[in-house]
Amino acid sequence: MMLVSVLASDLGGSMQSVRMRDKKGKILTSSDISIVIVNVIFGIAAMPCRMKRYSKILKITGMLMMFSCLIHLIITPYFLLAEVVKPDCDVVFTFLQVVWIATHIARLLIIIEPCQSCSLEGQRTIALLCDLLGKYDITDNTRKIVEVFITQASQQPVKFSCFHLFNLDRSVLTALSGSIATYIVILFQFSTN
């Protein structure tokens, strides 16, 4: 309850808040809170649903989380850099922005690293099964089963994606880094004009 009253006073109150100093900060915080609320509502609504519907809802929330990470990793460094270039830089605000950047990066890694690990384990499993076929003497029935499994695993590798728009692996980190840098430059160009 106290959190709600603090957020309400920050959103409608003066510009003395440490968290939200200007209109952009208020808009970002409002959109972030709404994304969290939507994720919670989807999670609660999905409980009684069948698993097929639940997986669709999880895909939607996964996309929202990736979009939220992208937005936060654009806006938070922008606010940090905008504060650092000011002659009267606020140390507390700067420190909070650095902490938020680290938090958003950690959140992104929590999403991507398990997907990357699972994909690598799938590739490693195929290599181990190929070694099994080449090095050890196994029965013909077992050999056929292993060959079928290797064929299926090779044709359908383990990959995770968000609506088939992009794969969730470490290549997303480089793509996001380039996008973030581009958008930060664009934001600075608009703010100077």
pLDDT in tens, 86-130: 889 889 889 999 999 999 999 999 989 999 999 999 999 999 999
pLDDT on residue 112: 92
Taking the domains of the chain in order of start, what are their residue ranges?
A: 2-12+20-192
Percentage of the chain modeled with pLDDT above 70? 78
Give the span between the Cα atoms of 156 and 188, in whole angstroms.
Answer: 44
**Contacts (Cβ under 8 Å, ≥6 apart) of 144:** none
Give the span between the Cα atoms of 20 and 32, in whole angstroms.
Answer: 13
Name the band, by pLDDT with cuts 50, 70 and 90, for residue 47. Answer: low
Cβ contact 81:184 at 8 Å: yes
pLDDT on residue 53: 63
Cβ contact 188:78 at 8 Å: yes
pLDDT on residue 63: 82
**pTM of the predicted model as reported, rounded to 2 decimal places:** 0.70
pLDDT on residue 124: 95
Give the span between the Cα atoms of 65 and 157, in whole angstroms.
Answer: 24
pLDDT in tens, 60-92: 777 888 888 999 999 999 999 989 988 898 898
pLDDT on residue 114: 92
pLDDT in tens, 164-177: 888 999 999 999 99
Give 161's strand partners.
167
**Contacts (Cβ under 8 Å, ≥6 apart) of 66:** 111, 162
Q: How big is the chain, counted in residues?
A: 193
